[in-house]
Amino acid sequence: MPKETAVYTHGHHESVLRSHRWRTAANSAGYLLGELRPGMAVLDVGCGPGTITADLAALVAPGRVTAVDTGTGILEQAAAVAAERGLENVEFAVADVHALDFPDDSFDIVHAHQVLQHVGDPVQALREMRRVCRPGGVVAARDSDYAAMAWFPETSGLSEWQEVYRRVARANGGEPDAGRMLLSWARQAGFPDITPTAAAWCFATPETRAWWSGLWADRTTDSVYAELAVRGGHASTEQLTAIAATWRGWGVEDDGWFMVPHGEVLCRG
């Protein structure tokens, strides 16, 4: 497929949105919070269902947040979240991060959470994010790293899940191990000043284990990802059913522990 063309591996199945709606600025953009000030103009790229977007809008009010994604359906959900919170400083638009429809130097902050792993050309995406960011502003990106995910107890079923997911994501034109590559991509995009960091989500309480394992079990059998895995010959329906059962079994382990590491970059210049 062309370099800038990639298929969004997850889709917007309920099991995917169950995860995305959990995300907040605190648990998913903590590295950026110290840069935010009231009155700023923010671009939130790949906003999804809008929970992080709404947090950013509250933090920069009376400044404005422009939230973009690739389809109107998910933007309608994001707009509903903003409306429920009484936020009037958010606007929404369909956009392609490889070619943003905004003038140069339009925003103080340009933010992308779990986006660059899904695009066909992450360096071009960062160049565009840099173009629309004002001098002195910040481009912020955070992505997970599937190869570095870790869990206990060890189970071959989750190792199989990890391998299948990474194959599917790469076949779709994405990079599932994007977290470790953000610094390199930002350098290639021409940023002279980059602050790289890392952070992690951890699911290790009975409630978080049940939630995380349940959404991945459902995603493995019922989402766009499942369809793409079978259609692309990466796994059979029977394999995916067995992987989902492994997820559910891990979710009830008394000592179950799962870590999702993320790479982060704050880019200036």
User: What is the arithmetic mean of pLDDT over 132-156?
Assistant: 97
Which residue would you say has higher pLDDT here, 53 or 71? 53
Stretch among 104-108, 192-196, 218-222 having the lowest mean pLDDT? 218-222
The tokens for 85 are: 């919170």
36/62 Cα distance (integer angstroms)? 12
249/244 Cα distance (integer angstroms)? 9
Q: 90-102: per-residue pLDDT in tens?
A: 999 999 999 999 9
According to DSSP, residue 175 is labeled -
| pLDDT exceeds cutoff 90 at 135 | yes
The tokens for 21 are: 């709606």
| pLDDT exceeds cutoff 50 at 1 | no
Distances (CA, A) of 158 to 19, 115, 248: 18, 24, 11
According to DSSP, residue 50 is labeled S
User: What is the arithmetic mean of pLDDT over 244-251?
Assistant: 97
- Is residue 251 a contact partner of residue 212, using CB atoms and an 8 Å limit? yes
Read out DSSP for 135-147?
EEEEEEEEEE-GG
Q: Which of 43, 72, 73 is nearest to 56 (CA)?
A: 43
Q: 42-62: per-residue pLDDT in tens?
A: 999 999 999 999 999 999 999
| Whole-structure pTM value | 0.95
For all residues of the chain together, what is the average pLDDT? 95
112/86 Cα distance (integer angstroms)? 23
Q: Quote the pLDDT of residue 32.
A: 98
Read out DSSP for 71-130?
-HHHHHHHHHHHHHTT--SEEEEE--TTS-SS-TT-EEEEEEES-GGGSS-HHHHHHHHH
Tell me if residue 17 falls in helix, strand or coil: helix
82/89 Cα distance (integer angstroms)? 9
Q: Which of 265, 113, 147 is nearest to 197 (CA)?
A: 265
